[in-house]
Structures are given as structure tokens and as C-alpha cells.
Amino acid sequence: MKQAKIITWLSLLVMTAGLFNGFINGDFFVDGAALFDNPWGVMSLIDLYVGFVLFSLWIVYRETSKLGTLLWVVAMMILGFFAGCIYILKALYESHGDWNIVFHGQKDKLV
């Protein structure tokens, strides 16, 4: 559990640094347009959003609140795996060391 938290915190820090770099040194609309002009840029975006959708399926399965589910899925679609890192940290800290809770949340039907 400790290793998962360390890896997730490091991932969040890397994502944060990358986002700061992008906002400081890049132009979202110019650079984004360049992605659409490149077939591999388009493929990278398809790959990224397929990952967002699949991760969001886990959120939908795991969450018990409809509003919470909606907010997390919207966050995933807008913020990507930056939000995913935060969600995993939330799951890890709520679990109190129980991997079953990390993966399944507080489902009453689970043993």
C-alpha cells in the first residue's frame, strides 16, 4: 500500500510539473492544433481518451454517489490522469490498507 501511495504521489507531482510547463511555455490552441495535423498526434489523443473512458468505468463502478460519480468522470475528461492520480490517492487513503476497498469502494455486497 505504501509503495502505491508513493508511486501515485510521484505521478501527481510529475503531472503537476508537466501541466505547469505546458501552461507557461506552450500555447494550448496552437500546440493542440498541431496534434490534429499529425496522424500520430490524433492516435495519441484517441489512446488517451480511451484510457479516460476505461478509468471512468472503474469510477462509475466504485462510487456510490451519483453526483460524486458525475463530478469525477467530468474531472477525468477535462483534467485527465491528473484527476486520475487524485482519485487513486482518495481510494488508497479511504481504504485504510484494504486493497478490496481500493478496487471496489464501499460496496455492501462485497465480502
pLDDT tens per residue across span 17-59: 999 999 999 998 898 889 999 999 999 999 999 999 999 999 9
Q: Tell me, what DSSP letter sits at residue 106? A: S
Residue 8 lies in a domain: yes
Residue 41 lies in a domain: yes
Amino acid at 57: L
Residue 110 lies in a domain: no
pTM of the model: 0.86
Residue 39 lies in a domain: yes
> Per the structure, how many domains does the chain have?
1
Q: How far apart are CA 16 and CA 19, in angstroms?
A: 5
Residues 6+ apart with CB under 8 A from 104: 61, 62, 110
- Sign for the CA dihedral angle at 19, 24, 29, 32 comes to negative
Residues 6+ apart with CB under 8 A from 93: 5
In 26-80, which ranges are continuous DSSP H helix?
Answer: 28-36, 39-62, 66-79
What residues make up the domain containing 97? 2-104
